[in-house]
């Protein structure tokens, strides 16, 4: 079988890896120009297609039949060739419904706010309505298609129980963006974001910080792919396989971020973790030095701490956008909440809590080059490390022990 994903921007697609994990057919990418759909369909030989933006609606006119659910939504993301006919389906529907069910989001009798009015928005509306939602309201910048504007949504924020973002705002190209502030939404029971890269968008992180259950779109992507696979082959993908692919993909893409005092062993432990997990290791201080062409004391002398922090923030922003790394951060990286938020988007933060008695003042750390400075720094930063960490490693007596602890903790953290 030959199956493809078609769309205009596919360079960062995870679909080939997901379908390869199902192991049932060849699967490739076909990146088309916005005007290239007709030519592709006239000449291509395929058994099945996945369809992404901007062709989910356009492809309808090239199909011999459309599943009633996809027709009602008005968007197709899966095409199967069967008995010489091309039949369209919407497996995004099954992917989103599976994501919401897995998260424990019960929409029956609730009010649902959907950000966006595109094809995925229509899918989300169908899922909410079929789940028995009491009301479903969509939001757009202009208020078109009977949608609320963002200002109107914020004004009526107390009326909604669940929020689903179907816009690309906050995706990897602009991870600092957030489609809407959750500050006014005091009654939310859950937030779902269909964006899967980064793993946790700024919207998801804001929800979690406010104690609101929130999920990103990676599981939706895997579940819609599993539904497509079932249509391509005629055989369902077992639930345990779906969960295993989700877990494996998340573990592969999620970075390990080590935080802690200067001299706490982040570099040594990080290298060991990278070896154990098969990941690339990066030391953020080394990156700052490499890009500046100067040592940290030299940067401090020429630009002061503010200059160093600006360089550090730029390096961390770049590393945070990447996936699957082991990152040893500088001792002061967590002083800026923006650094912490960015690192959390694709990573988990582990605090190597080495006691003050085991730390040594070092000349290449200007803020802790004496014992007195080190003690003061420890007292000021320890609470910040604890607050920033997803997990704390208390036994750092040996690098191997700390590395093993981090590897074990990664498996325990709920995705």
CB 108: neighbour CB atoms within 10 A? 9
CA distances from 123 to 20, 73, 155, 239 (A): 26, 6, 25, 22
To the nearest 10 degrees (0 to 180), the angle between helices 337-346 and 296-321 is 40
For the question of residue 110 being annotated catalytic, the response is no
**β-strands 280-283, 325-328: how paired?**
parallel
Q: For every residue of 346-372, which 3-state class applies, written as one string?
A: HEEEEEECCCHHHCCCCCCCHHHCCHH
Angle value at C-alpha 96, between 92 and 98, nearest 5 degrees: 115
Of 346, 342, 331, the C-alpha closest to 377 is 331
Of 188, 202, 130, the C-alpha closest to 156 is 188
Interatomic CA distance for residues 198 and 181, integer angstroms: 18
Q: Give the end-to-end CA distance of the chain in Å, rounded to a whole number.
A: 33
Catalytic residue among 56, 110, 266, 279: 56
> For the purposes of burial, counting CB atoms within 10 Å of the CB of 128, is it exposed (0-12), middle (13-18) or buried (19 or more)?
buried
Where helices occur in 144-209 by DSSP H, the ranges are 150-155, 202-209
Beta bridge partners of 82: 85
> Would you put residue 133 in left (φ > 0), alpha (ψ -120 to 50) or beta?
beta
Interatomic CA distance for residues 108 and 402, integer angstroms: 46
Interatomic CA distance for residues 47 and 58, integer angstroms: 19
The values of phi and psi at residue 320, to 5°, are -65, -30
**Token couple for 371:** 């014992």
Catalytic positions, written as ranges: 56
């Amino acid at each position: 079988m030959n199956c493809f994903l078609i769309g205009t921007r596919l360079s960062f697609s995870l679909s080939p890896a997901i379908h390869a994990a199902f192991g049932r057919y060849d699967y490739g990418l076909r990146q088309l120009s916005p005007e290239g759909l007709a030519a592709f369909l006239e000449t291509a030989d395929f058994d099945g297609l996945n369809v992404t933006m901007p062709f989910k609606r356009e492809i309808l006119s090239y199909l011999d039949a459309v599943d009633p659910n996809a027709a009602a939504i008005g968007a197709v993301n899966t095409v199967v060739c069967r008995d010489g006919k091309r039949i369209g389906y919407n497996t995004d529907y099954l992917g989103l419904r599976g994501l919401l069910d897995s998260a424990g989001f019960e929409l029956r009798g609730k009010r649902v706010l959907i950000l966006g009015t595109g094809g995925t928005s229509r899918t989300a509306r169908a899922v909410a309505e079929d789940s028995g939602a009491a009301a479903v309201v969509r939001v757009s910048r202009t208020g078109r298609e009977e949608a609320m504007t963002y200002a109107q949504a914020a004004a009526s924020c107390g009326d909604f129980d669940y929020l689903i973002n179907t816009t690309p705002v906050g995706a990897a190209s602009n991870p600092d963006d957030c489609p809407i502030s959750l500050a006014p939404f005091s009654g939310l029971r859950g937030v779902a974001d269909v964006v899967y890269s980064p793993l946790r968008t700024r919207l998801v992180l804001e929800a979690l910080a406010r104690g609101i259950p929130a999920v990103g779109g990676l599981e939706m992507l895997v579940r819609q792919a599993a539904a497509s696979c079932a249509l391509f082959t005629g055989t369902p993908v077992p639930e345990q396989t779906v969960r295993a692919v989700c877990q494996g993909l998340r573990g592969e893409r999620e970075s390990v971020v080590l935080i802690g005092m200067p001299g706490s062993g982040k570099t040594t432990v990080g290298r060991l973790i990278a070896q154990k997990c098969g990941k690339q290791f990066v030391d953020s201080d080394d990156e700052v030095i490499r890009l500046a062409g100067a040592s940290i004391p030299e940067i401090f002398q020429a630009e002061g701490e503010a200059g160093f922090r600006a360089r550090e923030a730029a390096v961390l922003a770049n590393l945070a956008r990447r996936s699957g790394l082991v990152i040893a951060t500088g001792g002061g990286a967590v002083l800026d909440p923006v650094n912490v938020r960015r690192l959390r988007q694709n990573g988990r933060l582990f605090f190597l809590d080495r006691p003050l008695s085991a730390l040594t003042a070092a000349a290449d750390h200007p803020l802790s080059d004496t014992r007195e400075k080190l003690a003061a720094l420890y007292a000021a930063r320890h609470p910040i490390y604890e607050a920033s960490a997803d997990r704390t490693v208390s036994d750092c007596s040996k690098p191997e022990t700390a590395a093993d602890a981090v590897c074990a903790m990664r498996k325990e953290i709920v995705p």
